Amino acid sequence: MYENAHKTGAETFTTPVYGAPFPPIIVGGVPGDYKVLADVTSARWVEYQILAIANGAGTTAHVVISGQGKPLQPDYTAGATTPLNDDAHGYGEAYAVGINSTVTPADEWRRVTSSEKRVYIRIDASVATYVTLRFRPCLLEIIPGPALTVHPDHAHQMNIARAGKINASLQEMGVPGYAEEQNRGATD
C-alpha cells in the first residue's frame, strides 16, 4: 500500500490514497446557479468527477463548473466585450451542450479547492439541463512519525529535551539562548 512512500524527518509522505467514489449526484434543471456539498467534508481534501451533462430541447446549454467558487457567466455572443484573460479570468471548466444531447467529459478527477467543500455549477439554457457528478475523499497523504512518549515520573527529561531544542533553534537564528545568558551572568 505504501510502496511510493518516502521519509522526511519524522513523517512519511506517500502517494495519496483515495476512498471509493460516492454514488452519483444529479443537479440542475432550470437555468441558474447551483452548489453541491461534497458527500464527506471531514477529509483533508475531496475530488469531484463530472460524469455527464444532459441538455433537453430548446437551445444549446452553456454550463460552467468550478470546485473553487461561484463561476463567472461567460459571454458567448459574437461581440464579447469582456474577454477572459490574465486580468479577468474564471476558475473551472466550460461546456457547450447541443440540443437534446449529452456530453460525457474525460474521466478525470478534479480537486475541490473551496473551503466549504462545494462544487459550483452555472447553467445557462432555455430549458432543463442536468449535471451528473460524484465525489471521492482523500484518505491519507502523510503518515505521522511515532509519538515521543515519556513516563509521567520522568516528565522533567522531556522538559530538558524541549529546552535544548529551543536553545538550538535560537542559536541558529543568532539569538542567545537561556543557557548562554546564564553562563554570561555567572562570568560577569
Residue 121 to residue 28: CA distance in whole angstroms: 8
Is there a single domain that holds both residue 171 and residue 88?
no
| pLDDT at residue 52 greater than cutoff 60 | yes
User: Could you give the C-alpha distances from 60 to 16, 65, 130, in angstroms and in order?
Assistant: 39, 16, 13
- pLDDT over 90 at 119, yes or no: yes
Q: For residue 6, what pLDDT band results from cuts at 50, 70 and 90?
A: very low
pLDDT tens for 99-115 read: 999 999 888 999 998 88
Answer yes or no: is 60 within a domain. yes
DSSP result, 57-103: SSS-EEEEEESSSPPP----STT-SS--SSSS---SEEEEE-TTEEE
Q: Do 84 and 159 have their domain in common? A: no
141-178 pLDDT per residue, tens: 666 666 666 676 777 877 888 888 888 888 888 877 66
Q: Which of 49, 53, 54 is nearest to 38 (CA)?
A: 49
- Within-domain flag for 68: yes
CATH classification of the domain holding 125: 2.60.120.340
Model confidence, pTM: 0.64
67 and 113 in a single domain? The answer is: yes
188, with CB counted inside 10 A (0-12, 13-18, 19+), is exposed
- Lookup: cell for 28: 440542475
Range of the domain at 178: 152-187
Mean pLDDT over each residue of the chain, to the nearest integer: 79
Q: End-to-end CA distance of the chain, in Å? A: 60
- Residue 168 covered by a domain: yes
